[in-house]
């Protein structure tokens, strides 16, 4: 075998599987149809949007925090009955009840929490 042919075969073997397409720039953006996504916003009449509020998703035990617009996103949530709760509210704000959501595979659900902060001394 000639050295050039041997090097070509060696290079192909090192590349593993050249038949697989390359992922799009920025990673694979294809949604996974076996999981869902939850998103939403936390608001209060007294403050408007509420940034920095903890959001917990059960039974997946996933957590996040609201951004500066009071929005949150939780991806790759296992479908089924899901409970979403919030915490870390300022003193004087009343904690709303957790929200139960039926999440279907591949679905995206948005919810909203309205927090009562009328007991807060401003």
The answer to which of 15-19, 47-51, 88-92, 115-119 has the lowest mean pLDDT is: 15-19
| CA distances to 13, 53, 71 from 68, in Å | 50, 10, 7
* CATH number attached to the domain at 31-115: 2.60.40.10
* pLDDT-based confidence at residue 9 (cuts at 50, 70, 90): very low
Mean residue pLDDT of the chain comes to: 82
Residues 35-87: tens digit of each pLDDT:
999 999 999 999 999 999 999 999 989 999 999 999 999 999 999 999 999 99
Q: Is the pTM of this model over 0.75?
A: no
CB atoms within 10 A of CB 6: 10
Closest by alpha carbon to 56, among 92, 32, 79, 88? 88
User: How far is CA 25 from each of CA 17, 20, 22, 29, rounded to the nearest angstrom?
Assistant: 19, 15, 9, 9
What residue ranges do the domains of the chain occupy?
31-115
For the beta carbon of residue 106, count every other beta carbon within 10 angstroms: 13
């Amino acid at each position: 075998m000639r050295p050039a042919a041997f090097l070509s075969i060696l290079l192909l073997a090192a590349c593993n599987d050249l038949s697989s397409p390359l992922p799009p720039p920025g990673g694979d953006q294809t949604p996974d149809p076996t999981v869902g996504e939850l998103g939403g916003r936390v608001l209060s009449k007294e403050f408007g949007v509420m940034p920095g509020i903890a959001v917990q998703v059960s039974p997946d035990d996933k957590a996040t925090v609201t951004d500066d617009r009071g929005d949150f996103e939780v991806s790759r949530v296992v479908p089924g009955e899901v409970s979403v709760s919030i915490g870390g509210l300022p003193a004087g704000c009343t904690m709303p009840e957790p929200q139960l959501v039926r999440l279907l595979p591949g679905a995206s659900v948005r919810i909203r929490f309205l927090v009562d902060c009328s007991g807060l001394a401003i």
